[in-house]
Amino acid sequence: MTGGTLYGIGLGPGDPELVTLKAARLLATTPVIAFFAAAGRPGHARTIADGLIGPAAELIRMDYPFTLEIAVEDPRYRAGIARFYDDCAARLAAALARGRDCAVLCEGDPFFYGSFMYLFDRLHRQHPTRIVPGITGMAGCWSAAAAPMTQGDDMLCVLPGTLPKAALVDRLRLADAAVIMKVGRNLAKIREALAAAGLTDRALYVERGTMAGERIIPLADKSDDQAPYFALVLVPGRRGPR
Amino acid sequence: MTGGTLYGIGLGPGDPELVTLKAARLLATTPVIAFFAAAGRPGHARTIADGLIGPAAELIRMDYPFTLEIAVEDPRYRAGIARFYDDCAARLAAALARGRDCAVLCEGDPFFYGSFMYLFDRLHRQHPTRIVPGITGMAGCWSAAAAPMTQGDDMLCVLPGTLPKAALVDRLRLADAAVIMKVGRNLAKIREALAAAGLTDRALYVERGTMAGERIIPLADKSDDQAPYFALVLVPGRRGPR
């Protein structure tokens, strides 16, 4: 393995002050900075990093070829997205081959439900790779909610809201504390699963955690089932002594 | 609620560069800094924060009354530890009443298996309280291990190794990815539970993640069952497309 080093840099959930000292140092000094964005949008990770990127950095913008136009289940989605990641990896590989270090900006933590993993898969065998962990969206949200999550022998379950209702119920029943990600269109189903597991009273709904427009309410007080994709439901645990 | 503000400040798993910009700012400017430590030891959180605390800060050291001398199951443990946290909370409440902001140093994240929660329980109703999330030990470890953890619809299960074997097996069987905390004396049992759930081949053993003396190996390659309390076992997930 020769040439530049590939960095996956976690930037936390949105508040630019929740970036680590290590990430800030690498953003200021890495010559090539790459980031994903939806077409026509600035890119969430890019926005978090705004004041931290060095003035001479070369920026590689990676525009998702589609977001909601093609369903994830559609075979065209899988083929199209694989081609997209192949192309992104080739652009980074070219810079790495020229001996340039490349940093990929990652919302939250790079290895926790992040697109960076698709680049890691394609590049880490040929190029030295380093991962800088980031504050996860869930930790940003439970801190903003002032909701202690796990203590002692508590088991925490992190579930995507996209799972079928029965799978959600089975897992919630075994959990002491839970985080449900990817709420979006799944909120009505998530409510039913929480009720079946007897957890409705403990559930909190969090929208835009750590950012402008943050909203944290008991899920039972939310009167509709409209939610953005990145909203979270938290079920704080803590069976142990207080 | 009047007087000073109580901060619970996450400092990450050990590498001082994994502290957030927000935590660094608050460490430099908060007049009272409190931290837990085992008697005669510097305190892990205090060590992480070493270069970041302002020169004029008043330090409140909170020495655990016991660590391994009394078993957690012993009634004397629960009574003794509750008195200890009452006493710590009283010391902080006195400073807060004088209008002094107080920051409690927390390894990892304050609300994720941390002693700070016992102080939060005792103080947050009377004093303004803010939580600064931190990089969790598990995120530090999976980044150091270069082990992508969750993608797509993966479910992550975080389990204390202190649970009975049958409880571990039931939960591991439903998980796509898993983190087993508090390995210590439980490693032989954890191995049996992973084998029963068919996960032995994917398990990694991590000791002192992000710190000097870091050790990351496949669990199957670890030839003994000796492990420190804070060692972790990671089972990377990722059912989705690559």
Report ipTM for this prediction: 0.95
Task: Convert the pLDDT of each residue in A78-88 to its tens digit.
Answer: 888 899 999 99
For residue B41, the distance in angstroms to the closest alpha carbon of chain A comes to: 23
CB-based burial label for B228 (10 Å; 0-12, 13-18, 19+): exposed
What pLDDT, on a 0 to 100 scale, did the predictor assign at position A1? 62
What pLDDT, on a 0 to 100 scale, did the predictor assign at position A68? 66
Strand (E) or helix (H) holding B165: helix B165-174
Quote the CA–CA distance of A142 and B10 in Å, as a whole number: 13
Four-CA torsion B27, B29, B31, B35, nearest 10 degrees = 0
A72, A115, A230, B149 from B240: Cα distances, Å = 11, 12, 19, 12
What pLDDT, on a 0 to 100 scale, did the predictor assign at position B72? 75
Strand B156-160, strand A156-160: pairing: antiparallel
| pLDDT category of residue A240 using cuts at 50, 70 and 90 | low
For residue B205, the distance in angstroms to the closest alpha carbon of chain A comes to: 17
Q: Could you tell me if B133 and A143 are in contact, meaning their C-beta atoms sit under 8 angstroms apart?
A: yes
Residues of A in contact with B10 (CB under 8 A): 139, 143
Q: What is the 3-state secondary structure (H, E, C) of chain A?
A: CCCCCEEEEECECCCHHHCEHHHHHHHHHCCEEEEEECCCCCCHHHHHCCCCCCCCCEEEEEECCCCCCCCCCCHHHHHHHHHHHHHHHHHHHHHHHCCCCEEEEECECCCECCCHHHHHHHHCCCCCEEEECCCCHHHHHHHHCCCCCECCCCCEEEEECCCCHHHHHHHHHHCCEEEEECCHHHHHHHHHHHHHCCCHHHCEEEECCCCCCCEEEEHHHCCCCCCCCCCEEEECCCCCCC
Four-CA torsion A60, A66, A72, A73, nearest 10 degrees = -130
pLDDT along chain B (242 residues), means of 10: 91 97 98 95 95 96 82 82 95 98 98 95 97 97 96 94 95 96 95 97 94 94 92 86 53
Quote the CA–CA distance of B234 and B147 in Å, as a whole number: 9
For A20, which of B121, B135, B163 is closest by C-beta distance?
B135
Angle (CA) A177-A182-A186 rounded to 5° is: 95
What pLDDT, on a 0 to 100 scale, did the predictor assign at position B239? 63
- pLDDT of A242 higher than 70: no
What pLDDT, on a 0 to 100 scale, did the predictor assign at position B76? 85
What pLDDT, on a 0 to 100 scale, did the predictor assign at position A72? 75
A177, A187, A198 from A192: Cα distances, Å = 17, 9, 10
Q: What is the mean pLDDT of residues A227-239?
A: 89
Task: Convert the pLDDT of each residue in A177-196 to its tens digit.
Answer: 999 999 999 999 999 999 99
B11, B16, B66 from B37: Cα distances, Å = 15, 18, 10
What pLDDT, on a 0 to 100 scale, did the predictor assign at position B48? 97
What pLDDT, on a 0 to 100 scale, did the predictor assign at position A67? 67
Q: Please provide residue A168's backbone torsions phi and psi, each rounded to the nearest 5 degrees.
A: -60, -45
**Cβ count within 10 A of residue A130:** 17
| pLDDT category of residue A206 using cuts at 50, 70 and 90 | very high
Quote the CA–CA distance of A26 and A103 in Å, as a whole number: 8
Fold designation for A138-235? 3.30.950
Q: How far is CA B107 from the centre of its chain?
A: 5
Q: How far is CA A180 from the centre of its chain?
A: 13
Between the two ends of chain A, the Cα-to-Cα distance in Å is: 52
- CB contacts < 8 Å between A and B, how many? 168
Scan for tokens 């039931």, then name that residue: B170
Domain range list for chain A: 6-135, 138-235
| pLDDT category of residue A241 using cuts at 50, 70 and 90 | low
For B133, which of A18, A154, A238 is closest by C-beta distance?
A18
Average pLDDT score, chain A: 94
What pLDDT, on a 0 to 100 scale, did the predictor assign at position B133? 98
What pLDDT, on a 0 to 100 scale, did the predictor assign at position B184? 92
Mutate to test the interface with A, among B11, B73, B143, B190 (most CBs of A within 10 A): B143
What pLDDT, on a 0 to 100 scale, did the predictor assign at position B42? 92
3-state secondary structure of B156: strand
Task: Convert the pLDDT of each residue in A34-78 to its tens digit.
Answer: 999 998 899 999 999 999 999 999 999 999 987 666 777 788 888
For residue B185, the distance in angstroms to the closest alpha carbon of chain A comes to: 15
pTM above threshold 0.80: yes
Q: Could you tell me if B140 and B209 are in contact, meaning their C-beta atoms sit under 8 angstroms apart?
A: yes
Scan for tokens 């002192």, then name that residue: B208
What pLDDT, on a 0 to 100 scale, did the predictor assign at position B73? 77
Quote the CA–CA distance of A209 and A15 in Å, as a whole number: 9
Q: What is the mean pLDDT of residues A90-99?
A: 98
* Cβ within 8 Å, pair B155-A163: yes
A157, A173, A200, B45 from A242: Cα distances, Å = 22, 23, 22, 22
Q: Which two tokens stand for residue A24?
A: 């800030």
Scan for tokens 């957690």, then name that residue: B72
Residues of A in contact with B16 (CB under 8 A): 21
Of A117, A240, A107, A238, give the one whose Cα is nearest residue A181.
A107
CATH class of A6-135: alpha beta
Residue B230 or A12, more confident: A12
* Cβ within 8 Å, pair A113-B21: no
* Cβ within 8 Å, pair B160-A155: yes
What are residue B212's DSSP bridge partners? none
For residue A29, the distance in angstroms to the closest alpha carbon of chain B comes to: 15
